[in-house]
Structure 1
Amino acid sequence: MGERAAGGGPAALPSLNEFEAPRAWHCIDFIADLHLNESMPATFEAFAAHLQHTPADAIFILGDLFEVWVGDDAATRPFERHCLETLAAAASHRHIGFMVGNRDFLASCGVLGTTGMMGLPDPTVLGAWGRRLLLSHGDALCLDDAPYQAFRAEVRSDAWQAQFLARPLAERLRIAAEIRRVSSERQRFEGMAGADVDAGEAVRWLHALGAAELVHGHTHRPGSSLLAPGFKRHVLSDWDLDHGQRAEVLRLTRDRLERVAPAAA
């Protein structure tokens, strides 16, 4: 079932945001859900190596690059500063597009500007080599998770963000840690049953925005499947090379869309 507005009718469709890949490009990488933090050095090193050594002309990061981003003053912390410096180095010689996720939605245009990354609205239609792909983090489509959708609406409001960002950095970090703890406990007891996209709503987006394929992250359930006849989705992998061996890139070329391992030094 698709999303419903408070009055009972269909919810408003997202705005059409488009990006056309330059003709000279040959390869585009999609990644998401790296959840970078200082306690996962192997994951960060794999990410940094991929940024440097991938053959792709562009890398599109579809949300949750960071485990948490509590405001742009977090860039004063050593790990976050190192991440931004690494991204800036990569953006100096290839196109980096960044879409916020549910963990790093407070990253602003200001921090993007310091790295040279291009901000991607959620969703964005990418046109490349005759294909139109709808790019999204994916959390806005997980309609069965009603508590999360209520929380998402609250924290994306200007009023909540202004109040939250007015707090000292240390306090914001403590609040974020507590939110993550409560969320993890809820997932442990309730499972991830509500953490998949609503197929009907996804197809409604695709049809309205003129795309046949959806690329998203968030659910940590990598794979490709049909949403409905003529409409397909590709779910990105999360990355964790510190506690497991999960790291995958979805790569689009002129000929195919395939899953590959991250580029190594």
Structure 2
Amino acid sequence: MNASLTDRFAELRAPAQWQAVDFISDLHLQASHPATFACWQRFLQRPPTERADALFILGDLFEVWVGDDVLEAPADRIDPAFWRRCADLLHAHSQHTPVYFMAGNRDFLLGHEGMSAFGMHALADPTVLAFQGQRWLLSHGDALCLDDTDYMQFRAEVRSPEWQSAFLAQSLIEREAVARGLRAQSEARKRNSAHDPQLWADVDTPAARQWLQQAGAQTLIHGHTHRPATHDLGDGLKRFVLSDWDAEAQPPRAEVLRLTATGLQRLPLKTA
């Protein structure tokens, strides 16, 4: 196992009574995208007959998270009110359905106070889910996009305790300004490569196979790339990519991946 990828696999054993679990990722919730937020709210408030036994959020629930203190910011600011609304909805959902959260590349600064406010249980990346007699490997997916060398260097920097401590020591206004700058750079990079999807970094197949073999699993479930698909990696190994959510796109996108004893099923959601 390449130590630069992972040196261990966390494991979560599903309770015997679980019959179905749902996976979502890359909702990129933000106050400026109310349609996606409304779709997410409807999803959380579904009747009991439509819910799974657990919800797994595999990263990038939020467009950006600059620190748990956004929940305590002055009430006259739009974003803090939005974050508190998100927290209230998800915490209410967690009272009847356990919610597990794995950090993505946009919300890796969600800390203990934020996790508690949202009612979520933290998941390491990667984590093996033992469910219905099989092992399923879960990841956000960005750590496997090895060809994106610039991002991998950036990821290593911002995931370090030193960088995070220095960043969180700044004022909320300063952190939000930094986040806006990073998002602008990311959007510019997307626009520059939009004409050629082959330029977009994807999950490295040998690395994904290595993870699966070391984890004793046959299927990797991840998000991050915004390219929902099922990939055959050979030797019985598969990679399921979650959909991102954008209710304002044409066509709109929002999908849940549900796992039951019979396997994985993609469930499109109503976005109107």
The TM-score bracket by the shorter chain reads over 0.9
Flag structure 1 segments of 5+ consecutive residues without an equivalent. 4-9
TM superposition score normalised by structure 2: 0.90
Partner residue, 1:61: 57
Partner residue, 2:7: 14
Partner residue, 1:6: none
Query: Which secondary structure does the structure 2 equivalent of 1:246 belong to?
Result: coil
Give distance in 1, aligned partners of 2:45 and 2:239. 28
Partner residue, 2:32: 39
Q: Are the aligned partners of 2:253 and 2:271 in contact in 1 as well (CA < 8 Å)?
A: no
CA shift for structure 1 position 195 = 2.2
Partner residue, 1:261: 268
Give distance in 1, aligned partners of 2:169 and 2:113. 17
Aligned match for 1:231, one of 234, 237, 241: 237
Q: Does 1:86 align with 2:79?
A: no
Partner residue, 2:133: 130
Give distance in 2, aligned partners of 1:14 and 1:259. 31
Give distance in 1, aligned partners of 2:200 and 2:15. 38
Give distance in 2, aligned partners of 1:12 and 1:148. 14
Give distance in 2, aligned partners of 1:101 and 1:123. 11
Q: Does 1:189 align with 2:192?
A: yes
Give distance in 1, aligned partners of 2:4 and 2:21. 32
CA shift for structure 1 position 256 = 2.3
Residue identity matched to 2:25 = A
Give distance in 2, aligned partners of 1:99 and 1:11. 19
Query: Which secondary structure does the structure 2 equivalent of 1:249 belong to?
Result: strand
Is 14-23 or 199-208 further displaced after alignment? 14-23
Residue identity matched to 1:40 = H
Q: Are the aligned partners of 1:143 and 1:194 in contact in 2 as well (CA < 8 Å)?
A: no
CA shift for structure 1 position 130 = 1.6
Give distance in 1, aligned partners of 2:8 and 2:111. 19
CA shift for structure 1 position 184 = 1.3
CA shift for structure 1 position 204 = 0.7
Q: Are the aligned partners of 1:206 and 1:212 in contact in 2 as well (CA < 8 Å)?
A: yes
Residue identity matched to 1:106 = L
Q: Are the aligned partners of 2:144 and 2:204 in contact in 1 as well (CA < 8 Å)?
A: yes
CA shift for structure 1 position 12 = 5.5
Q: Are the aligned partners of 1:28 and 1:251 in contact in 2 as well (CA < 8 Å)?
A: yes
Flag structure 2 segments of 5+ consecutive residues without an equivalent. 73-79
Q: Does 1:147 align with 2:140?
A: no
Is 122-131 or 137-146 further displaced after alignment? 122-131
Is 18-27 or 185-194 further displaced after alignment? 185-194
CA shift for structure 1 position 262 = 3.0
Q: Does 1:170 align with 2:184?
A: no
Q: Are the aligned partners of 2:5 and 2:143 in contact in 1 as well (CA < 8 Å)?
A: no
CA shift for structure 1 position 263 = 7.1
Give distance in 2, aligned partners of 1:108 and 1:19. 20
- Percent of pairs with identical residues: 50
TM superposition score normalised by structure 1: 0.93
Give distance in 2, aligned partners of 1:242 and 1:118. 30
CA shift for structure 1 position 36 = 0.1
Is 241-250 or 146-155 further displaced after alignment? 241-250
CA shift for structure 1 position 165 = 0.5
